[in-house]
Chains A and B, each alone.
Chain A
Amino acid sequence: MIKITVDSSGIVLSQSDERINILDQTIQFVQSIEETVYVDVQLKEHESLKLSYVFESNTTCRLVERKTLNTQSVFHKDITVLDGAHIKMFLENLTKQSENVECIENVSIKKDASMSVGYAELEEANYKGEYLYTLDGEGASAKVRMAALSNNDMRKNYKVSIEHCAKYTSGQMDNYGVVKNNGKLYIDGIGTIQRGYSGSSSHQTNKIIVFDEGCIAQANPYLFIDEYDVKASHAAAVGRMDDEHLYYLQSRGLTKHQSMQLITYGYLMPVVEVVEDEDLKQHFEDVLLKAGA
């Protein structure tokens, strides 16, 4: 297993590997890697950290990042996916019981490169995330899926953006949220296609289920399109848990709690499909169960 740990004192690779270079605050993937790479990021209170990932041309890689960010910490990340590279990433936010945590990601995807990303945002913390993708080369594509849970008075704010800065680029985002026990969840989904970048497509779905009264949920889709020859769509919905669904499940003997759990699970589970990894799937299931979703 390839493990990399990152904290304010630096980046440590579990054992040296010619496929991975560590320079300063940058992790550079110079060759394709078959096995899953695990990156653990830890930030203490009030710390701020900048980390860069660079995926060299024509590499393929599957990466799982787990971050734990403490109160008042700020995590900046730059990801560069060079020409023809194909990257799958699963980003799990393990930040718990923390206040005013911020994470800003800038992702640049070059010519004919692709990135599939799953964000698991299930833990309890007051958190603000900005995940900003730019498609910088012709044929670049980004597929972003997020599963966010806001529980027990937590407030979570997300801005997920895909900006098209080249022709024939495709961006797709699906953001799913569940809010319960006075949680607050705000998701802004933004798709932008500048003039001249024809042949591109920008699609997004934002859906939030609200479990009980006292929760606040907003799903705001934005599409800024300045070009005719493109395909674009967006959908946003904030809805209550369907009583008929609950009734059906309960009529088969599941308690209300179990029924809600099953529905939440089904709702958030697709996020792990981004990376085909059985261990990860199992892990995600465990986290979902523990989160009392």
Chain B
Amino acid sequence: MSKLKIKNLHVNVGDKEILKGIDLEIHSGEIHAIMGPNGNGKSTLLSAIMGHPKYSITEGSITLDDQDVLSMSVDERSRAGIFLGMQYPQEIPGVTNSDFLKSALNARLEKPLSVFQFIKKLDKNIEELQMNENLAHRYLNEGFSGGEKKRNEILQMKLLQPQFALLDEIDSGLDVDALRIVAEAINSMRSDDFSCVMVSHYERLFELVQPTHVHVLIQGKIVTTGGYDLIEKIDQEGYDWLKELGVVLEEEQDQQPIILGSCARKVVE
């Protein structure tokens, strides 16, 4: 059993503060959904956990059990079991997908896989994801369609078997069949040793992969946390009702800065 703990996290891009105090605890076995309007900091949160150099942490902490995640390099975080399926995966010309996958797998093994073992593993996973086989031999994500890139992210997750998977809009660009396949892949990883944070704008993904916790992130803060009914409400009504709540909260904070921390979070029943 593991725990990823984010405490009072403040994150800047350049001089601009994007995250303004995030508190979040993820225990293994849990699936967390994060929703929120565009440009409010969801990707920033996931990227900051992974360690993207563009984001600077100005306050707060991230720990994985007793390890200080913020003091680890990006690759150390990965080898410690954190995985980020990116909203916009990079295209890397010249590096073939299969060379990359083999190196990534071997990076966390004491003894490297033989070519035969690797190919067997790769083929099995590619088949399960019903991916086009030639994608393995092409350059990493180069010219992949939006949906192919997302499936390639899931392929990596399946191969690397992380303990904490952060999936940023993994459903965007997927056709209905692909969405089902990807959801199955995530569900098949569910266990007492696995947890997942999923960012998405759409209820459909959460229907297929039922979250245990649901958070809404607005203006750099988690403004409310709840269960599946929160997703349904957002799906029907959008965020306006929450934004109002957010504004009220900010006004309250201005007047009474002392209770700032506690009222930034509200649980919707």
A253 to B72, CA, bound (A): 12
For residue A222, CB closer than 8 A to chain B, the reply is no
Q: A266-B93, A267-B94 are in contact. Are A251 and B100 (CB under 8 A)?
A: no
For the complex, is B86 an interface residue (Cβ under 8 Å from A)? yes
Q: Which B20-64 residues sit within 8 Å CB-CB of chain A?
A: 50-53
B96 at the interface (CB under 8 A from A): yes
Q: Does B156 contact A (CB under 8 A)?
A: yes
B160–A263 CB distance below 8 A: no
B100 touches A262 (CB 8 A): yes
Given contacts A255-B107, A258-B103, contact A250 B78 (CB under 8 A): yes
Contact with A along B85-125 (1 / 0, CB 8 A): 01001101111100110011001100000000000000000
Check if A253 sits within 8 Å of B79, measured CB to CB: yes
A243 to B92, CA, bound (A): 11
A211–B78 Cα gap in the complex (Å)? 23
Q: How far, in Å, is B155 (CB) from chain A's closest CB?
A: 11
For the complex, give the distance between the alpha carbons of A258 and B102 in Å: 12
Query: How far is B96's CA from A266's CA once the two chains are assembled, in angstroms?
Result: 7
Binary CB contact string for chain A from 247 to 269 against chain B (1 if under 8 A, 0 otherwise) = 11111111110110011011101
A86 to B83, CA, bound (A): 50
Residues A255 and B95 in contact in the complex (CB < 8 Å), given A243-B53, A262-B100: no
Across the two chains, which residue of chain A brings its CB closest to B75? A250
Most chain-A Cβ atoms within 10 A of its Cβ — which of B51, B77, B104, B156? B104
Count of residues in A whose CB is under 8 Å from the partner chain? 22
Q: Chain B CB within 10 Å — which of A243, A251, A256, A265 has the most?
A: A251
In the assembled complex, how far is the CB of residue A278 from the closest CB belonging to chain B, in whole angstroms?
A: 14
| Complex CA–CA separation, A289 to B164 (angstroms) | 33
- How far, in Å, is A254 (CB) from chain B's closest CB? 5
Task: For the complex, give the distance between the alpha carbons of A262 and B90 in Å.
Answer: 15
Determine how close the nearest CB of chain A comes to the CB of B3; give it in whole angstroms.
Answer: 21
Please determine whether A251 and B84 come into contact, CB atoms closer than 8 angstroms.
Answer: yes
Q: In the bound complex, what is the Cα–Cα distance between A158 and B79 (angstroms)?
A: 41
Residues of A within 8 A of B84 (CB): 251
Chain A residues contacting B90 (CB-CB under 8 Å) are 244-245, 247-248
* Cβ-based interface call for B239 (8 A): no
User: For A244, A254, A263, A269, which residue has the most chain B Cβ atoms within 10 angstroms?
Assistant: A254
Q: Say yes or no: B52 contacts A247, CB within 8 Å.
A: yes
- Per the bound structure, the CA–CA distance linking A184 and B146 in Å amounts to 39
Q: Knowing A262-B103, A266-B99 touch, does A252 contact B156 (C-beta < 8 A)?
A: yes
B100 touches A252 (CB 8 A): yes
Partner among B53, B83, B107, B139 whose Cβ is within 8 Å of the Cβ of A254: B107
Identify B89's interface contact among A248, A254, A255, A270, CB under 8 A. Answer: A248
| Interface hits, B217-258 → A, CB 8 Å | none
Q: Are B99 and A252 neighbours in the complex by a CB distance under 8 Å?
A: no
Chain A contacts with B in 228-286, Cβ cutoff 8 A: 243-245, 247-256, 258-259, 262-263, 265-267, 269-270
- B94 and A248: CB pair below 8 A? no
A207 to B119 Cα, complex, angstroms: 33
B130 within 8 A of A: no
Complex contacts, A269 vs chain B, CB 8 Å: 94
Are the C-beta atoms of A248 and B107 separated by less than 8 Å? no
A262 to B86, CA, bound (A): 20
- B103 CB contact (under 8 Å) in A248, A251, A254: A254
On chain B, the residues within 8 Å of A253 by CB distance are 75, 78-79, 104, 107-108, 160
Min CB gap B70→A, angstroms? 15
Does B73 lie at the interface of the complex (its beta carbon under 8 Å from any beta carbon of A)? Answer: yes
Q: Is the CB of B104 within 8 A of A248?
A: no
Instruction: Report how far A247 CA is from B78 CA in the complex, Å.
Output: 11
Q: Compute how far the CA of A243 lies from the CA of B95 in the bound complex, rounded to whole angstroms.
A: 15
Answer whether residue B135 sits at the interface, using C-beta atoms and an 8 A cutoff: no
Quick one: which of A244, A248, A250 contacts B73, CB cutoff 8 A?
A250
With contact pairs A262-B95, A262-B100, A263-B92 given, residues A255 and B53 touching in the complex (Cβ less than 8 Å): no
The 24 sampled A-B contact pairs (Cβ below 8 Å) are: A247-B74, A248-B86, A248-B92, A249-B100, A250-B78, A251-B51, A251-B74, A252-B104, A252-B107, A252-B156, A252-B160, A253-B75, A253-B79, A254-B107, A255-B75, A255-B107, A256-B75, A258-B107, A262-B95, A262-B100, A262-B103, A266-B95, A266-B99, A269-B94
With A252-B100, A253-B160, A266-B139 already in contact, 18 other A-B pairs whose C-beta atoms are closer than 8 Å: A245-B90, A247-B53, A247-B74, A248-B92, A250-B74, A251-B50, A251-B75, A251-B78, A251-B86, A253-B104, A255-B107, A256-B73, A262-B99, A263-B92, A265-B95, A266-B95, A267-B94, A269-B94
